[in-house]
Structure 1
Amino acid sequence: MRPEHDGLTRLPERPWRDDDGIAPVTLVDPADADPAQLRKRLGDMRALLVISLLMTESVNEDQIFSLATSSALGLGGCRIDGYHFTDGTWRPGTGCLAATRELTGQVALLDGGGPIELAGRTWAWAYPLRSASELLGHVIASSDAEPSGDERFLLQVLAQQTAVAVSNARLHAKECASAAQLAETNEALADTVASLRRSMQIHERLTRVAVSGDGQQGIADALHELTGMPVAMEDRYGNLTAWSGPGRPDPYPKESFATREQLLRRLMRAGKPLRDGHRLTMLASPRPDVLGVLALVDPERRADSADLVALEHGTTVLSMELARLRGIADTELRLRRDLVHDLLTGTDTDSAHARADALDYDLRRPHRVVLIEGKGRSRRPDALLEAVRRALRSAELDALDETRSGSVVVVTAGQTNWDRLRRDVLSNLGGGQCQIGVGGIRVDPTELPGSLREARLALRLQKTLLSSDSVCEYSKLGVFRILATVPDLDELEVFVREWLGCLLDYDALRGSELVHTLTQYLEHGGNYDATAAELSVHRSTLKYRLQRIRELTGLELNDPDVHFNLQLATRTWGTLQALRSQT
């Protein structure tokens, strides 16, 4: 049953204590109530409701506090001096009241809300800003006269509504932040998924190339397909080995030796893609002596992270391909070296032909042996061998080769400009020295040891008697060939001692080089300047040595007969030196 109405108008019962700032609520008989007072109370409640609605709809803390501050005077005739929060921060309200240590201490001692003391204020109160879950802080209100119970009630409700609105606004801000973070996370996750999908496509495409055995051109085509950029593949020397895409340069540009070595060192130190002008480059190096360079031509610098992944994975596949090719090449080279070794030490014809056929090399042609010695800037032990092989390829010479005691022995059926070959070897070495001795032609492979002896003799004679950095062909040695075939070397020794004995003894005793000086003087036709340049001595030093030779031998060097016999003696001496070095 509904309770019987007793005819009295009751205000809601207070859930607050007296020390919250609320005066006891009195029951008013409608017949005794002042109509103006009732209208005022109704107006205050309506205003408070409007303010509550505005606060509830707002998600801006500044706006909520501004509404609370501006409405306090109208509701309770009090001013809001500021807001003191539990984290120690202060928000000013009406006026310029600042948070002092004394005010903070007073608020800290309160259990909820309560009276406080403010300088110049008759009445001041701290109303709690309490949400459903926590205390946010306090509203600091003051007045020049103590407000009525109804006014204090309105201030308390205003503070409570302010706390609820601020709590909702903060919750809304937190939800917005969470939503933004979630959206950002989803976007990052989508990017990650797209990146992983692209990486898987790159991996699958290049793995198919590696398995199919399409070689370097297949790798370049796949990388061009994945990136949309032209792709260049080069060996360690800058020679183009594969190209895919438009704009292939013709002729293909090639860097200098020093520039190329500098780029390779940069790539080796970095271990990742590096920009080299308009290209993104990366080094493929499955082993120290095997190098390749993979490049994306990107003049507009539009390569993204996926393109870098494709370049890195393509470089890995290229390294595998280079290792495979090098393994095949090493096996073939080992077989070729074994064949060269047996040809130079002696083997039967049928076995030599069979092994050459297995290597797809035609050994049934006449061959000769070429011996090459040299030293360049590189300290790598195989630098000379690589330089010789590149020079042979440039000269289009089909050949077998191996290294022996720091020299390179070449067995070839071709004929070329040997001095041009020597210059190419020097260029590939990056400068330095290079000497070449060329043996005679042999029809049967069992005769190649003889051609090797001739090449050694030519190289030795070149070092002893001829220009120290040139080519010496055995077939063009003239009298040296005759001297080298004399069976009785003792007769040659007697002849040399007859004409050069005193000079040889003097050189042995004093450590001088009179015999060598005389040899070069006679080989250069008595030309002082050419002889001095070859010996790297001053012209006056050469004249002194020649005068000393005249004094020791008692011979006139300008006499034709003496000149002939001395030159024959020096050539015989050089031949004997070369022959002795072979034993």
Structure 2
Amino acid sequence: MDLEAAPDPRVDHTPRAANLCAVLSVTAHMHDCGNRDEILALMVDALPELGPFTVEPVSAVTGELHDDDDVWRHRVLLDDSWSRPVSLTLRADYPPTPLQATLLELLIQHTGSALRATSLRGRAATQERQLREATEEITAITARASRLEQEAKIHHTFGRLSATGGDETAIADTLHRLTGLAVGIEDAFGTLRVWAGPDRPPKYRKVGGGNRVDVIRRATMEGRPLRDDNRIVQIVRPGKTLLGVLYLSDPDHRAADLDTFALEYATTVLAVDMAHRRSLAETEARLSRDLGADLLAGTDDDSAYSRADALGYDLHTPQRVLVVQWGPDTPIETVAEAFRRHLTSTDSSALLVHGNEHRTGVLAAVMDATTDANTIFKALEKSLGPAVGVVGVGSECGSPSDLPNSYTHAMRALEIRKQSLSPRGVALFDELGVYRILDSHSSTGDVEAFVQEWLGPLLEYDREHRSTMTATLAQYLECGGKYDETAQALRIHRSTLRYRMSRIHELTGRDLRSVDTRLNLHLASRALQVLAGGERQ
């Protein structure tokens, strides 16, 4: 375009001079605009200020400019180096003056500069936004990668623990190490089995407390960790049977999402372990019941020893049979479960027999002869409640083949105790005394055993020394413990009688001042006479 062309001589008037300050003001506003449309609008609005300039319209049909040789035209291409270039055609009814041409050129230059500046700002904003989005995406990817790395670590840790056969204690310790929180494992009844970490409560409160059933039900329905007060709880339930509860102790509510993930994964590993151990326990219990039932029915010693060794039970030590009956409203399975919990808590073992193997409603246990039956009774009473429970204890056995007799004695002790004035507690067959021969099931063998129990040391002494200690005691008891009558009946001096009675006390270890002791000794001495009479016949 030739902006310096001479004005058309046909024009008989001079256009008004453009205000340079106004043009500069317009171009300044252009640089403050936020988009190209506003800049172009300012340019179009400023054209009349420079002269008779307008923007040539474009045909809506052909998109071409109208061709008219009588007007002045100037095509302007505005390129912002980023968007599509803008093409404008300026027109005037006559050529511009040099001043108008200069101002028009200045406006065009500033418009192009403003478009490029706006384009640069737009590009910078776009790049900044893209950079920010990329940074956020990288941050998210980094966080996800870190999370996946932590999850992989948890998977690897518990996977290795499961592969090496780690028990529930190892699982709890590992979860505590990963989360930094104390960990507890309860059994299905709410008893604390394992605690890992500091601050173990001196007085334990089971999960849910009095609302345990509701908490377990909600946790089952949720299927994921559930917060219960200061604990994050996850139930261990691989099938329909509740095996226990695993939880994180979180009184400060600082557990993160990754801690919950670790809890869920640890619960999965624990469920596999507990289900496996439960299956082994059920198999062992079944084998134990089978062996126990055979022992009560009678089996040879060699077979009993080999089967017990396979189960890991020591039958080589002296054994005895205990039988338990706990009221009519307490199922025998409940009694057996309480008995097993006591065995677990005391790290002891027994062969339990119940159900169809022997008498219905009675739990039998083959145990080490040194086991304290009173401790067992107290443990059962604590678990089952103060019902009318009885524990009968049979005689000690030196070999497995004697266990049927011990079982018979235990049942007799239980039945005698149930019919007594105090039908609850522990009844030891060895301490039944006179009741052993008064029982309707007694036999000659029972009477002989009773005599041997109470008079055995005296009979042995008389055989070895050819003395009459047994006869002296019998006469003393027949005379009601009166020294003068006894000495006269035996035709010995009173001092001799005192010496003999002193020796009898030493040999038997019995306190003759006890009414029960004197009664048992008296019955034993009379039973001896009956047995001796039978032998003479």
TM-score in terms of structure 2 length: 0.59
Q: In 2 relative to 1, CA 431–465 (structure 1 residues): closer, same or farther, beyond 3 Å? A: closer
* Unaligned stretches of 5+ residues in structure 1: 11-26, 78-109, 112-131, 134-147, 489-583
> Partner of 2:338 in structure 1?
387
Q: In 2 relative to 1, CA 74–425 (structure 1 residues): closer, same or farther, beyond 3 Å? A: same
Question: Does structure 2 conserve the Cα–Cα contact (< 8 Å) formed by 1:239 and 1:254?
Answer: no
Question: Does structure 2 conserve the Cα–Cα contact (< 8 Å) formed by 1:8 and 1:29?
Answer: no
* Unaligned stretches of 5+ residues in structure 2: 50-59, 62-82, 85-92, 97-103, 445-537
CA–CA separation in structure 1 for the residues paired with 2:119 and 2:226: 54
Of 306-315 and 453-462, deviating more is 453-462
> Partner of 2:464 in structure 1?
none
TM superposition shift of 1:75: 7.2
RMSD of aligned alpha carbons:
4.9
Residues paired across the two proteins, number: 395
CA–CA separation in structure 1 for the residues paired with 2:376 and 2:384: 12
Paired residue secondary structure (1:365): coil
TM superposition shift of 1:357: 2.5
TM superposition shift of 1:451: 2.5
> Partner of 2:354 in structure 1?
403
Q: In 2 relative to 1, CA 377–75 (structure 1 residues): closer, same or farther, beyond 3 Å? A: farther
Question: Does structure 1 conserve the Cα–Cα contact (< 8 Å) formed by 2:224 and 2:264?
Answer: yes
CA–CA separation in structure 1 for the residues paired with 2:386 and 2:237: 26
194, 199, 220: which one aligns with 2:151: 199
> Partner of 2:324 in structure 1?
372
TM superposition shift of 1:343: 0.1
| 1:110-125 correspondence to structure 2 within 5 Å | none
TM superposition shift of 1:347: 0.4
**In the alignment, structure 1 residue 438 sits paired with structure 2 residue 390:** no
Letter in 1 for 2:257: S
**In the alignment, structure 1 residue 53 sits paired with structure 2 residue 31:** yes
**In the alignment, structure 1 residue 327 sits paired with structure 2 residue 306:** no
Letter in 2 for 1:449: P
TM superposition shift of 1:46: 4.8
298, 304, 309: which one aligns with 2:250: 298
Letter in 2 for 1:54: D
Q: In 2 relative to 1, CA 164–34 (structure 1 residues): closer, same or farther, beyond 3 Å? A: farther
CA–CA separation in structure 1 for the residues paired with 2:263 and 2:347: 34
Letter in 2 for 1:230: A
Q: In 2 relative to 1, CA 181–449 (structure 1 residues): closer, same or farther, beyond 3 Å? A: same
| 1:46-445 correspondence to structure 2 within 5 Å | 46-55=24-33, 58=34, 180-245=132-197, 247-249=198-200, 251=202, 253=204, 255=206, 258=210, 263-288=215-240, 291-374=243-326, 382-393=333-344, 398-404=349-355, 405-415=360-370, 418-429=373-384, 434-445=389-400
Q: In 2 relative to 1, CA 308–392 (structure 1 residues): closer, same or farther, beyond 3 Å? A: closer
> Partner of 1:482 in structure 2?
438
Cα deviations by residue, 1:162-189 (Å, 9 ceiling, x for unpaired): 9999999999877766655554444333
Question: Does structure 1 conserve the Cα–Cα contact (< 8 Å) formed by 2:27 and 2:111?
Answer: no
CA–CA separation in structure 1 for the residues paired with 2:325 and 2:12: 128
TM superposition shift of 1:232: 3.3
TM superposition shift of 1:272: 2.0
CA–CA separation in structure 2 for the residues paired with 1:430 and 1:29: 124
Q: In 2 relative to 1, CA 159–415 (structure 1 residues): closer, same or farther, beyond 3 Å? A: same
Letter in 1 for 2:163: V
Of 191-200 and 462-471, deviating more is 462-471
Q: In 2 relative to 1, CA 260–251 (structure 1 residues): closer, same or farther, beyond 3 Å? A: same
Q: In 2 relative to 1, CA 194–283 (structure 1 residues): closer, same or farther, beyond 3 Å? A: same
Cα deviations by residue, 1:321-373 (Å, 9 ceiling, x for unpaired): 22233333333323322210110111011111222233332223332222212
CA–CA separation in structure 2 for the residues paired with 1:395 and 1:311: 30
CA–CA separation in structure 1 for the residues paired with 2:320 and 2:436: 19
TM superposition shift of 1:400: 1.6
Letter in 2 for 1:346: G
Q: In 2 relative to 1, CA 449–487 (structure 1 residues): closer, same or farther, beyond 3 Å? A: same
CA–CA separation in structure 2 for the residues paired with 1:396 and 1:43: 103
TM superposition shift of 1:202: 1.0
> Partner of 2:409 in structure 1?
454
TM-score in terms of structure 1 length: 0.54
TM superposition shift of 1:69: 10
TM superposition shift of 1:218: 2.8
CA–CA separation in structure 2 for the residues paired with 1:487 and 1:431: 35
Paired residue secondary structure (2:316): coil
Cα deviations by residue, 1:231-257 (Å, 9 ceiling, x for unpaired): 333434455544444x25375735498
The sequence identity of aligned pairs, in percent, is 30
Question: Does structure 1 conserve the Cα–Cα contact (< 8 Å) formed by 2:30 and 2:111?
Answer: no
TM superposition shift of 1:430: 5.6
Q: In 2 relative to 1, CA 340–349 (structure 1 residues): closer, same or farther, beyond 3 Å? A: same
CA–CA separation in structure 2 for the residues paired with 1:33 and 1:305: 87
TM superposition shift of 1:409: 1.2
Question: Does structure 2 conserve the Cα–Cα contact (< 8 Å) formed by 1:272 and 1:282?
Answer: yes
Question: Does structure 2 conserve the Cα–Cα contact (< 8 Å) formed by 1:401 and 1:409?
Answer: yes
Q: In 2 relative to 1, CA 421–51 (structure 1 residues): closer, same or farther, beyond 3 Å? A: same
| 1:520-559 correspondence to structure 2 within 5 Å | none
CA–CA separation in structure 2 for the residues paired with 1:190 and 1:433: 67
Cα deviations by residue, 1:518-566 (Å, 9 ceiling, x for unpaired): xxxxxxxxxxxxxxxxxxxxxxxxxxxxxxxxxxxxxxxxxxxxxxxxx
Q: In 2 relative to 1, CA 433–282 (structure 1 residues): closer, same or farther, beyond 3 Å? A: farther
> Partner of 2:8 in structure 1?
29
TM superposition shift of 1:416: 5.3
Cα deviations by residue, 1:30-54 (Å, 9 ceiling, x for unpaired): 89686662x3176665554443333
TM superposition shift of 1:485: 3.5
Question: Does structure 2 conserve the Cα–Cα contact (< 8 Å) formed by 1:377 and 1:430?
Answer: no
Cα deviations by residue, 1:53-96 (Å, 9 ceiling, x for unpaired): 332xx36x9xx97x99999998769xxxxxxxxxxxxxxxxxxx
Letter in 2 for 1:29: D
12, 18, 34: which one aligns with 1:40: 18
Question: Does structure 1 conserve the Cα–Cα contact (< 8 Å) formed by 2:26 and 2:42?
Answer: no
Question: Does structure 1 conserve the Cα–Cα contact (< 8 Å) formed by 2:31 and 2:114?
Answer: no
Question: Does structure 2 conserve the Cα–Cα contact (< 8 Å) formed by 1:240 and 1:252?
Answer: no
Cα deviations by residue, 1:379-422 (Å, 9 ceiling, x for unpaired): 8x743211012234556654221222343211112345545533
Paired residue secondary structure (2:247): strand
Paired residue secondary structure (1:484): coil
Question: Does structure 1 conserve the Cα–Cα contact (< 8 Å) formed by 2:235 and 2:242?
Answer: no
Q: In 2 relative to 1, CA 209–375 (structure 1 residues): closer, same or farther, beyond 3 Å? A: farther
